[in-house]
């Protein structure tokens, strides 16, 4: 299996996440849209090395939504938000993407809908409404307080009181995001139909939002307190003050995931990706018992580590050792919820190293739009803040910083829009943009292009086995191999020059350096890497 050349697209391919609001605006309202994505498909892949060379696009939610959480509050699961286009534009996007060999992955948000979804509007109408139990309603405790101690990830309790019907409803995010009751068979059936709807339209896969939350404890018990918690946090701070034991990762969630899989498997070659953050032994269960679960439970581990060769290697090796044979690895270094990769690592040089690592490890990489330019966290003035956690919990919690408009060129608004963008364009756009970086042979963008196109042609990289080597201080060095093809990847995390030594290897040739300034023969038994330099060596 490990050397199998007949891999599925989601195994050999590279996924690129687009945050539709911020990619390209064609209507002049300051918000990106589907025609904008269609316009930029050739940038993503035109079949040649002049384009980026990705294989699939994952779109953050494009459904009708009041945008309380920027689309993660869905008011209709089977339509397109007029802000972005309509179903006909979506069909055109699928056709145009497929014509270029690009797959389309939709965000699927099954844990909660918008409070403006017709189901919830009905559900809150009365206690005996047929849709009442489509959501999670409970009586107050005798003292009138919420049914349990759970908190919302965006601050405050996870329960909101409904005066009209005298009960609380559950929401682990905003009160505008009431949670669907996945123990209710009709909810399950209706939500499965949504997947069918989009697969019939040609959608190739789904990224399932907060998948481990779908089933909660049947009795909705209080989460136990975390004895080591920071006492300044509010008592219902869900990840700090509590052990999240009862609000997520319940065994029965795997039944639902198996149902998703059975449904996807009725269609040809569709892919299920899940968003979840759990300890490795709990996380790994999301692949299913014999591979009947998610194809790719997102692996966010590398984003939480100190950027240091041994820590990163340990995480990769633990994953490799833990994965059962049917499970395919994957790595994520950035998304719409985290600080920008280049800002997190603190330098463009380290971001280049990260790019080489992400695109040469064994497993499916997911890239976040703009990381291919080395985009950094935007600076958002207080009056321009948009993200609810930023507005409620303080600006350091705002995810706006990683959602600023894509930087296409040095024209006003970075070529993103003719109008004032919904979030300010990052200050560096005049020097950091697609046009400038396309013309610069050693730019970050050209590094990504080189790596992506090289990877595509290298069975060792997209499908081969992985073997770590002890080869240099604060260096992460590994071999990737498929059949006779062998590639050595050597990544120097250190601020200083390092010598890498892989004994027993005859001759090698550096084909890509992260500095994009050398292609030369080297002796693997001893060669130098400059500070923060990574290389791919053909053996
Ligand atoms: C996921 C999304 C995040 C959203 C939350 C609630 O974590 O990635 O952006 O706010 O779910 O839907």
pLDDT tens digits, residue range 42-54? 999 999 999 999 9
The response to whether residue 277 sits with its C-beta less than 6 Å from ligand 1 reads no
> What pLDDT, on a 0 to 100 scale, did the predictor assign at position 5?
54
> What pLDDT, on a 0 to 100 scale, did the predictor assign at position 364?
98
Which entry of 209, 237, 371, 376 is annotated as an active-site residue? Answer: 209
The response to whether residue 210 sits with its C-beta less than 6 Å from ligand 1 reads yes
> What pLDDT, on a 0 to 100 scale, did the predictor assign at position 1?
34
Complete DSSP assignment for 80-128: --TTT--HHHHHHHHHHHHHTT-EEEEEE--SB--TTSHHHHHHTT-TT
- Give the tens place of pLDDT for each residue, 459-487: 999 999 999 999 889 999 999 999 999 99
Distance CA 488, CA 230 (A): 44
The response to whether residue 337 sits with its C-beta less than 6 Å from ligand 1 reads yes
> What pLDDT, on a 0 to 100 scale, did the predictor assign at position 235?
81
> What pLDDT, on a 0 to 100 scale, did the predictor assign at position 3?
40
Question: Which residues have a Cβ under 8 Å from the Cβ of 267 and sit 6 or more positions away?
Answer: 199
Q: Is 209 a catalytic residue?
A: yes
The response to whether residue 173 sits with its C-beta less than 6 Å from ligand 1 reads yes
Question: Tokens 């997209």 label which residue?
Answer: 462
Question: Pocket of ligand 1, candidates 21, 208, 337: which has the most ligand atoms within 8 Å of its Cβ, to mutate?
Answer: 337
Which amino acid residue places its CA nearest to atom 4 of ligand 1?
72
Query: Largest Cα–Cα distance in the chain?
Result: 78
**Do 357 and 367 touch, CB atoms closer than 8 A?**
no
The response to whether residue 108 sits with its C-beta less than 6 Å from ligand 1 reads no
- How far, in Å, is the centroid of ligand 1 from the Cα of 78? 19
Which entry of 266, 317, 420, 520 is annotated as an active-site residue? Answer: 266
CA angle 344, 345, 347 (to 5 degrees): 115
- Give pLDDT < 50 ranges for the chain: 1-4
Question: Tokens 């307190």 label which residue?
Answer: 225
pTM above 0.85, yes or no: yes
Q: Is 320 a catalytic residue?
A: no
């Amino acid at each position: 299996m490990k050397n199998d050349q007949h891999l599925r697209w989601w195994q050999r391919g590279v996924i690129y996440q687009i945050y539709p609001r911020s990619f390209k605006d064609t209507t002049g309202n300051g918000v990106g849209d589907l025609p904008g994505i269609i316009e930029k498909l050739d940038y993503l892949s035109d079949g040649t090395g002049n384009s980026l060379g990705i294989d699939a696009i994952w779109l953050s939610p494009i459904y009708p939504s009041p945008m309380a959480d920027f689309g993660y509050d869905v008011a209709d699961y089977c339509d397109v938000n007029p802000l972005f286009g309509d179903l006909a534009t979506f069909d055109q996007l699928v056709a145009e993407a497929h014509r270029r060999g690009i797959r389309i992955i939709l965000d699927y948000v099954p844990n909660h809908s918008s409070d403006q979804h017709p189901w919830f509007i009905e559900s809150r109408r009365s206690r005996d409404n047929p849709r009442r139990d489509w959501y999670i309603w409970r009586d107050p405790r005798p003292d009138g307080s919420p049914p349990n101690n759970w908190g919302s990830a965006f601050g405050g309790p996870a329960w909101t009181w409904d005066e009209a019907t005298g009960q609380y409803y559950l929401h682990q995010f905003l009160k505008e995001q009431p949670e669907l009751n996945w123990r209710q068979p009709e909810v399950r059936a209706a939500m499965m139909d949504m997947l069918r709807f989009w697969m019939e339209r040609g959608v190739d896969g789904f990224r399932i939002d907060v998948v481990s939350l779908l089933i909660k404890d049947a009795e909705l018990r209080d989460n136990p307190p975390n004895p080591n918690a920071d006492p300044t946090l509010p008592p219902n701070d869900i990840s700090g003050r509590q052990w999240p034991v009862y609000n997520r990762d319940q065994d029965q969630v795997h039944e639902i995931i198996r149902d998703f899989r059975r449904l996807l498997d009725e269609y040809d070659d569709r892919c299920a990706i899940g968003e979840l953050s759990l300890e490795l032994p709990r996380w790994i269960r999301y692949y299913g018992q014999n591979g009947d679960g998610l194809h790719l439970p997102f692996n966010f581990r590398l984003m939480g580590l100190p950027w240091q060769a041994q820590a990163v290697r340990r995480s990769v090796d633990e994953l490799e050792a833990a994965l059962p044979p049917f499970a395919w690895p994957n790595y994520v270094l950035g998304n719409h919820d985290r600080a920008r990769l280049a800002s997190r690592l603190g330098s463009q040089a380290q971001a280049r190293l990260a790019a080489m690592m992400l695109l040469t490890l064994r497993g499916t990489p997911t890239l976040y739009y703009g990381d291919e330019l080395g985009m950094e966290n935007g600076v958002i003035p207080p009056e321009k803040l948009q993200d609810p956690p930023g507005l409620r919990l303080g600006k350091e919690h705002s995810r706006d910083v990683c959602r600023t408009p894509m930087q296409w060129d040095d024209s006003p608004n970075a070529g993103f829009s003719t109008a004032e963008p919904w979030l300010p364009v990052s200050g560096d756009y005049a020097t950091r943009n697609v046009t400038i970086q396309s013309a610069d042979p050693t730019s970050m963008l050209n590094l990504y292009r080189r790596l992506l196109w090289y990877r595509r042609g290298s069975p060792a990289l997209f499908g081969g086995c992985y073997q770590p080597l002890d080869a240099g201080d604060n260096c992460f060095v590994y071999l990737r191999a498929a059949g006779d093809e062998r590639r050595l990847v050597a990544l120097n995390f250190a601020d200083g020059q390092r010598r890498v030594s892989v004994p027993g290897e005859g001759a090698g040739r550096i084909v890509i350096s992260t500095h994009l300034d050398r292609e030369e023969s080297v002796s693997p038994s001893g060669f130098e890497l400059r500070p923060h330099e990574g290389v791919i060596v053909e053996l």
